[in-house]
Structure formats: C-alpha cells, structure tokens
Structure 1
Amino acid sequence: MKNEKLTTDEYDALEQVAAGIKTERVSACVARNTKRLSGLKLLSFRGDGRLSITDKAQQLLFVRRCINGLRAIAADPLAPLEKDVAYFLGKKAHIIAREAGEGYDISDKGRESLVDIGTLGM
C-alpha cells in the first residue's frame, strides 16, 4: 500500500464490511469510504452487487489487530488477546507466555517492533 495511511473511519468501514453487511443499505461510514477503499483494492463488489473485503484488506486488518494486541500487552501483561493474534505474536517472538500461566510479557523484539511502528506513525 506504499504510504497510503488509512484513517480510523476507513478502518471502521473495512471492519464493518468484514463483519458482514446484514441489510440492503450500507452504513454512512461504509458509504463515504467505499470509493477510496475500492481504489486501494481493499473493497470489491461481488457478483450480486454486495461489498466484500479483499485478501489484502484481511491481511491489513490482521496486522492492525496484532499491532493493537502488542500495544495492549505492553501496557498490561494481563490484557486479553484473540487466539490468532496471541499465536502469531508468540510465533514471531514478540510476546512470551508468562510462567505464572496468565498473560504475556513483551519481548525485546516486541519492544523494538513497537518503536518501529511508532516511527512509522501506525
């Protein structure tokens, strides 16, 4: 995505589409962001005319969840993490399961990643 930063509103629109649009009409949030997100190849229209997120958008949302999870653990070792996020961050050695059995500690690699993320403005 080069340097195309998404706004919180655009992320919200992606998450709403990912969760599934239950009605014929999309929310105002999705409506005002559809054109830009489609242009970035994050949203597409299915054959039936409904919006869906692309694989690229799924990856982007997962990375965002991982970043938010890493930040949460940095702030509170007992912060809950979704299973897939905890697995990924653990596999990449960004977090370490605590010996006490609950929560995670952030590793040096995880701290370095947070610094890098901060400098990128994510």
Structure 2
Amino acid sequence: MKNEKLTTDEYDALELVRRGGKQDLATACVGRNTKRLCGIKLMSFGRDKRLTLTEKGEEVLFLRRCVVGLRALAADPMAAVDDDVLRFLGRKSHILPLEAGGHALSERGRESLADIDQQEERR
C-alpha cells in the first residue's frame, strides 16, 4: 500500500463510504472508484451488497487526516484538528502543546512532514 498513490477523488469516495448512508453510496464518485478501491482492498462488498471500508481503508483515511493535520498545524498552531488525530500525533511526538493554546510541530514532526513532501514530489 505504501506505493499506492490515491487521487483526491478516490479519497473522497473512501470518505463517502465511511460515512455510510444509501444516498452517499449512489454518487458518481463512489461508482467511478469502486472497482479500483475494492481491488486494492480498501473497500469491500458485504453480504448485504453494501460497500464498507476494510480495516486497511480506515487506516488510509486516518493517516491522510494525520498528514492534513500536520500541514494545518505547520501553517497555524491554532488550527482546528480532530481530537483523535491530536492524540495520535502527540503520542508519536510529532506535536507539542503550546502554553498559549494550540500545538506546534516538534522537530520530529517537521522531519516527518518534510519526508512526506519529498515522497509526494517523487510520484
């Protein structure tokens, strides 16, 4: 999976499936991407013929939210980031709480973000 490059449209389809609901699953976005995302095991059809995210799909979405959160905190220490993402980034020592509120990237967080940016440039 590390070498799989997903498009924004594919990430959007994963997010729609994660949210659920019959109306969301009938979108063109999900229809366009179902075959590929099922093929790389990020989504699957259940016994009731409904699309669901696999554990791998949930992990991919969470990691994307972490990267987006890192970028948001790099730009603005007071940026709104989900609590589960903040806990994860704090546990991994990527962010440090500020006394005035908000969070700043640690050295490790800046290195990780630079590494992610470098990998995306290569693709």
TM-score w.r.t. the length of structure 2 is 0.94
> Are 1:110 and 2:109 an aligned pair?
yes
The number of equivalent residue pairs is 121
Q: What's 2:79 paired with?
A: 79
Q: Secondary structure at the match of 2:52?
A: strand
Select the structure that is richer in helix: 2
Percent of residue pairs identical: 58
Q: Secondary structure at the match of 2:13?
A: helix
Q: What's 1:94 paired with?
A: 94
Structure 2 gap segments, 5+ residues each: none
Distance in 1 between residues matched to 2:75 and 2:25, nearest whole Å: 39
Q: Secondary structure at the match of 2:29?
A: helix
Structure 1 gap segments, 5+ residues each: none
1:24–1:33 Cα change, 3 Å: closer
Q: What's 2:41 paired with?
A: 41
Distance in 2 between residues matched to 1:60 and 1:7, nearest whole Å: 12
1:3-14 aligned within 5 A = 3-14=3-14
Q: Secondary structure at the match of 1:11?
A: helix
| TM-fit CA distance, 1:21 | 2.7
Distance in 2 between residues matched to 1:103 and 1:26, nearest whole Å: 39
1:83–1:2 Cα change, 3 Å: closer
Q: Which runs of 4+ in 1 moved over 6 A?
A: none
Whether contact under 8 Å (2:16, 2:24) holds in the other structure is no
> What is the CA RMSD across the aligned residues, in angstroms?
1.4
User: What letter matches 1:58 in structure 2?
Assistant: E
